[in-house]
């Protein structure tokens, strides 16, 4: 076996292994994207600071000036 054949075989096996890992990850449904964030977005009516807070609150206090705000509706 020549050197070029050995290099070709090594790269072919490496590519095949990489394809097998990608196929396995795809079958298991693994993705590398973060989970969607369920936080509410708030915009302060007084200082216009934009911030987020938990999904279970209706009103949130601005961390900059302390004014209570309602979530932004997109």
Summarised one tens digit per residue, pLDDT across range 34-56 is 677 788 999 999 999 999 999 89
CB 70 within 8 A of CB 59: yes
* Phi, psi (degrees; rounded to nearest 5) at 55: -70, -20
CA gap 69, 46 in Å, rounded: 9
Kindly state the DSSP code that residue 36 receives in the 8-state scheme. Answer: P
Taking the C-alpha atoms of residue 45 and residue 41, their distance in angstroms, rounded to an integer, is 13
**What pLDDT score does 37 carry?**
77
Neighbours of 61 (CB within 10 A): 15
Q: State the pLDDT at residue 73.
A: 87
CA atoms within 13 A on the CB side of 56: 0
Average pLDDT, the chain: 90
Q: Where are the domains of the chain?
A: 1-33, 40-69
Give the per-residue pLDDT at 30.
62
When pLDDT is averaged across residues 61-68 and rounded to a whole number, the result is 94
């Amino acid at each position: 076996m020549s050197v070029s054949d050995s290099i070709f075989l090594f790269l072919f096996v490496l590519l095949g292994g990489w394809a097998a890992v990608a196929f396995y990850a795809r079958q298991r449904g693994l993705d590398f994207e973060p989970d969607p964030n369920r936080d509410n977005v708030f915009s302060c009516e007084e200082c216009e600071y934009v911030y987020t807070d938990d999904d279970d609150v209706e009103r949130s206090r601005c961390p900059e000036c302390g004014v209570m705000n309602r979530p932004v509706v997109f």
